[in-house]
Copies of this chain bind each other. A is one copy, B any other.
Amino acid sequence: MPSELRKDPVMGRWVIISGERSRRPNPFRHYTTAIETAGACPFCPGNESMTPPEVLSYRSSCEEGGWKLRVVPNLFPALRIEGDLDKRGEGLYDVMRGVGAHEVVIETPDHESTPATYAQDQMVAVIGAYRDRMLDLLRDGRFRYVMAFKNHGAPAGATLAHAHSQIIALPVVPVRVGWAMEGCDKYFEYRGRCIYCDILSQELSDPRRVVVQNHHFVAIAPFASRFPFEISILPRRHEAFFWGLSHDHVVALAEILQDILRRYRLALKDPPYNYILHTAPPGYPSPDRYHWQVEVIPKLTEAAGFEWGSGFFINPMPPEEAAERLRDLERVMDVPEGHLLTAGSSGTRGG
């Protein structure tokens, strides 16, 4: 494919999709996800005293170690839960105290397992914990945004081996969220519809970029993907807030997210990755304009300071090809028949 400039319709960001760049020597790096555990693992059963007291646990018994999932405050928090914001100026700068919450979701008692190897109920517990903790944190009026995300493997930012993810509650709305809202607003003012609903509809009618779908969610390789094998998981039904999802939807999200992570593991040799839940901020006044979603990014290239500095991305893997490669894994995957709808099986493949 000759190289193309594609515009992200929400963020207004142009991305160079350059199939030719993948002919370079070593276009993708292979990183190991292994992290050595020096001494006792603070997230393993029996070592609960090494973490701060839990704020949530799902457990089968009240005995020590009888838990399925725990959420604890981060021992090295970026933000502190106590105190007021004390907003002030320093000359032309604005500053406030680092008030917020920084929690760790210990996803499983098993030191060795990862989302790609969990039994499904374990992944359901993880997604449920994000929802439950967000609902609780949002009762604190100081918090204007809550985010949940996972770093898998050291090259993706993890510092401990035992599977975990993080929840951060912030007293400000991150600027990226604001930019996305602006993009959604512009489209809504012009077309009178949610831009993501229209994206879903276009992607489903010509499913070249659809990787997999189930009754509640669709996983696509975005048209203007910044990174090779980047995936967006969108709920079919319009909904601005992640934390509004029902138990059925929690199960369906766990299923499709886990499916994507299994495909990464097979196609990309267990790469490091990140996923991030994007949701409208609490109190967002125009819930008909924004559509919550999960962004999943495997770490295969060194997108470094250049991209940080410029906001400009060169992606050597066209998303159509990424989607095809991830779809094709169905032949080798142990997917129960009829369980996941694949792009092809929806019968809507366009010309």
Contact = CB atoms under 8 A, between A and B. Distances in A.
Contacts of A23: 76
Contacts of A178: 12
26 contacts: A3-B80, A4-B98, A5-B96, A5-B98, A7-B95, A9-B94, A16-B78, A17-B98, A18-B77, A18-B79, A18-B98, A23-B76, A24-B159, A25-B159, A93-B223, A156-B302, A170-B312, A176-B309, A177-B310, A274-B306, A274-B308, A274-B309, A276-B306, A297-B304, A299-B304, A303-B308
A137 to B, nearest CB: 16
A127 to B, nearest CB: 17
A26 interface: yes
Nearest to A3: B98
Contacts of A9: 92-94
Contacts of A3: 77-80, 97-98
A149 interface: yes
Contact of A154 (B12, B302, B305, B314): B302
A199 to B, nearest CB: 7
A120 B118 CA distance: 57
Given A2-B80, A2-B98, A172-B14, A306 B149 contact: yes
Interface string A303-321: 1111011111010000000
Interface string A72-93: 0000111110000000001111
Nearest to A166: B306
A229 to B, nearest CB: 12
B174 A312 contact: yes
A24 B306 CA distance: 27
A195 to B, nearest CB: 7
Nearest to A160: B25
A226 interface: yes
A41 to B, nearest CB: 13
